[in-house]
Amino acid sequence: MGSEELRIGTAEREEAARLLSDHFGMGRITPDEYETRVTDAYAATTLGDLRPLFRDLPPPHPGFFGPPSTPMPMSPPPYAQPTTQLPTYGPGPYAPPTPYAQPMPVGYSPRSKTVAGVLQIVLPFGVGRFYTGQTGLGVAQLFATFCTGVGILWPIIDGILLLVNGGTDAEGRPLRP
Protein backbone atom coordinates (compact mmCIF):
# COMPACT_ATOMS: atom_id res chain seq x y z
CA MET A 1 0.00 0.00 0.00
CA GLY A 2 1.45 3.39 -0.99
CA SER A 3 1.58 6.41 1.29
CA GLU A 4 -1.18 8.09 -0.74
CA GLU A 5 -3.62 5.35 0.33
CA LEU A 6 -3.00 5.76 4.07
CA ARG A 7 -6.16 6.73 5.94
CA ILE A 8 -6.18 9.98 7.89
CA GLY A 9 -8.03 10.99 11.03
CA THR A 10 -9.73 14.04 12.44
CA ALA A 11 -6.45 15.54 13.70
CA GLU A 12 -4.97 15.51 10.19
CA ARG A 13 -8.13 17.02 8.68
CA GLU A 14 -8.15 19.81 11.28
CA GLU A 15 -4.45 20.56 10.76
CA ALA A 16 -5.03 20.82 7.00
CA ALA A 17 -8.01 23.16 7.55
CA ARG A 18 -5.97 25.32 9.95
CA LEU A 19 -3.11 25.64 7.46
CA LEU A 20 -5.55 26.47 4.66
CA SER A 21 -6.92 29.20 6.92
CA ASP A 22 -3.38 30.56 7.31
CA HIS A 23 -2.91 30.61 3.53
CA PHE A 24 -6.28 32.33 3.13
CA GLY A 25 -5.29 34.93 5.73
CA MET A 26 -2.09 35.62 3.77
CA GLY A 27 -4.14 36.21 0.61
CA ARG A 28 -2.83 33.20 -1.29
CA ILE A 29 -6.27 31.76 -1.99
CA THR A 30 -9.62 33.42 -2.65
CA PRO A 31 -12.64 33.01 -0.35
CA ASP A 32 -14.27 30.61 -2.83
CA GLU A 33 -11.09 28.52 -3.11
CA TYR A 34 -10.75 28.51 0.67
CA GLU A 35 -14.33 27.28 1.17
CA THR A 36 -13.90 24.55 -1.46
CA ARG A 37 -10.54 23.39 -0.12
CA VAL A 38 -11.66 23.30 3.53
CA THR A 39 -14.77 21.34 2.54
CA ASP A 40 -12.56 18.90 0.62
CA ALA A 41 -10.15 18.67 3.58
CA TYR A 42 -12.93 17.67 5.99
CA ALA A 43 -14.26 15.16 3.43
CA ALA A 44 -10.82 13.58 2.83
CA THR A 45 -10.25 10.00 3.91
CA THR A 46 -6.72 9.33 2.66
CA LEU A 47 -3.45 11.20 2.47
CA GLY A 48 -3.83 11.27 -1.31
CA ASP A 49 -7.08 13.24 -0.93
CA LEU A 50 -5.29 16.03 0.98
CA ARG A 51 -2.12 16.41 -1.12
CA PRO A 52 -3.80 18.20 -4.08
CA LEU A 53 -5.15 20.87 -1.72
CA PHE A 54 -1.58 22.09 -1.05
CA ARG A 55 0.08 21.30 -4.39
CA ASP A 56 0.03 24.94 -5.61
CA LEU A 57 0.71 26.53 -2.20
CA PRO A 58 4.10 27.31 -0.64
CA PRO A 59 4.94 25.96 2.83
CA PRO A 60 3.68 25.53 5.47
CA HIS A 61 2.19 22.19 4.54
CA PRO A 62 0.77 19.66 6.99
CA GLY A 63 3.47 17.94 8.99
CA PHE A 64 2.11 14.48 8.27
CA PHE A 65 3.01 14.92 4.57
CA GLY A 66 6.51 14.08 5.71
CA PRO A 67 9.69 16.11 5.55
CA PRO A 68 10.38 17.89 2.29
CA SER A 69 12.78 16.01 0.09
CA THR A 70 16.32 17.25 0.51
CA PRO A 71 19.02 16.76 -2.08
CA MET A 72 21.84 14.40 -1.24
CA PRO A 73 24.76 16.27 0.31
CA MET A 74 27.61 16.72 -2.05
CA SER A 75 30.97 15.44 -0.93
CA PRO A 76 33.83 17.94 -1.10
CA PRO A 77 36.13 17.65 -4.07
CA PRO A 78 39.12 15.41 -3.42
CA TYR A 79 41.56 18.31 -3.61
CA ALA A 80 39.80 20.37 -0.91
CA GLN A 81 41.65 20.77 2.36
CA PRO A 82 39.70 19.88 5.51
CA THR A 83 39.02 22.85 7.73
CA THR A 84 39.90 22.68 11.40
CA GLN A 85 37.49 23.81 14.03
CA LEU A 86 38.92 26.19 16.64
CA PRO A 87 38.23 25.10 20.21
CA THR A 88 35.55 27.03 22.05
CA TYR A 89 35.95 27.94 25.68
CA GLY A 90 33.53 29.08 28.36
CA PRO A 91 32.67 32.71 29.07
CA GLY A 92 35.53 35.12 29.62
CA PRO A 93 36.57 36.34 33.07
CA TYR A 94 34.56 39.55 32.64
CA ALA A 95 31.34 37.88 31.51
CA PRO A 96 28.34 38.54 33.77
CA PRO A 97 27.44 35.66 36.04
CA THR A 98 24.63 33.42 34.91
CA PRO A 99 21.50 33.92 37.01
CA TYR A 100 20.48 31.00 39.17
CA ALA A 101 16.80 30.28 39.25
CA GLN A 102 15.06 27.45 41.00
CA PRO A 103 13.59 25.42 38.14
CA MET A 104 9.93 24.52 38.43
CA PRO A 105 9.24 20.86 37.66
CA VAL A 106 8.37 20.42 34.02
CA GLY A 107 4.67 20.33 33.40
CA TYR A 108 3.51 21.99 36.63
CA SER A 109 1.28 25.04 36.63
CA PRO A 110 2.49 28.21 38.34
CA ARG A 111 -0.83 28.18 40.26
CA SER A 112 -1.12 26.55 43.68
CA LYS A 113 -3.71 23.91 44.58
CA THR A 114 -3.80 25.25 48.16
CA VAL A 115 -4.65 28.79 47.07
CA ALA A 116 -7.27 27.50 44.61
CA GLY A 117 -8.89 25.27 47.25
CA VAL A 118 -8.97 27.95 49.96
CA LEU A 119 -10.44 30.49 47.52
CA GLN A 120 -13.16 28.00 46.57
CA ILE A 121 -14.10 27.43 50.22
CA VAL A 122 -13.80 31.00 51.53
CA LEU A 123 -15.43 32.66 48.51
CA PRO A 124 -17.82 29.89 47.37
CA PHE A 125 -18.88 31.23 44.01
CA GLY A 126 -16.15 29.94 41.69
CA VAL A 127 -13.25 32.27 42.59
CA GLY A 128 -10.83 29.35 42.86
CA ARG A 129 -11.69 28.24 39.33
CA PHE A 130 -11.17 31.77 38.03
CA TYR A 131 -7.75 31.66 39.76
CA THR A 132 -6.81 28.46 37.91
CA GLY A 133 -7.87 29.96 34.58
CA GLN A 134 -10.93 27.74 34.16
CA THR A 135 -13.33 30.60 33.55
CA GLY A 136 -16.09 28.43 32.09
CA LEU A 137 -16.29 26.36 35.25
CA GLY A 138 -16.01 29.50 37.36
CA VAL A 139 -18.94 31.13 35.56
CA ALA A 140 -21.01 27.95 35.95
CA GLN A 141 -20.34 27.89 39.69
CA LEU A 142 -21.09 31.59 39.97
CA PHE A 143 -24.40 31.09 38.18
CA ALA A 144 -25.29 28.02 40.26
CA THR A 145 -24.50 29.83 43.52
CA PHE A 146 -26.64 32.87 42.86
CA CYS A 147 -29.49 31.21 40.95
CA THR A 148 -30.09 28.09 43.04
CA GLY A 149 -30.14 27.63 46.78
CA VAL A 150 -28.25 24.34 46.74
CA GLY A 151 -25.65 25.62 44.26
CA ILE A 152 -23.42 26.97 47.04
CA LEU A 153 -22.40 23.40 47.95
CA TRP A 154 -20.75 22.78 44.58
CA PRO A 155 -17.87 25.29 44.97
CA ILE A 156 -17.28 24.24 48.59
CA ILE A 157 -17.05 20.55 47.70
CA ASP A 158 -14.90 21.48 44.69
CA GLY A 159 -12.57 23.45 47.02
CA ILE A 160 -12.18 20.46 49.34
CA LEU A 161 -11.41 18.22 46.37
CA LEU A 162 -8.83 20.74 45.12
CA LEU A 163 -7.12 20.71 48.53
CA VAL A 164 -7.12 16.92 48.79
CA ASN A 165 -6.54 15.74 45.22
CA GLY A 166 -5.17 18.83 43.48
CA GLY A 167 -6.41 19.72 40.06
CA THR A 168 -5.33 21.21 36.76
CA ASP A 169 -5.15 24.70 35.32
CA ALA A 170 -6.71 25.88 32.05
CA GLU A 171 -3.86 24.33 30.02
CA GLY A 172 -4.27 20.94 31.70
CA ARG A 173 -1.09 21.16 33.78
CA PRO A 174 -1.29 19.86 37.38
CA LEU A 175 -1.48 22.55 40.05
CA ARG A 176 1.62 23.11 42.15
CA PRO A 177 1.42 21.52 45.64
Please tell me whether residue 10 adopts helix, strand or coil conformation: helix
How confident is the model over 20-34, as pLDDT tens digits?
999 999 999 999 999
Mean predicted confidence (pLDDT) in 27-47? 93
Sequence ranges of the domains in the chain? 3-65, 113-165
Q: How far apart are CA 130 and CA 148, in angstroms?
A: 20
For 34, 162, 176, the CA distances from 116, given in Å and listed in that order, are 44, 7, 10
**pLDDT at residue number 168:** 85
How confident is the model over 53-103, as pLDDT tens digits?
999 999 888 877 765 445 555 665 555 555 566 555 556 566 666 665 555
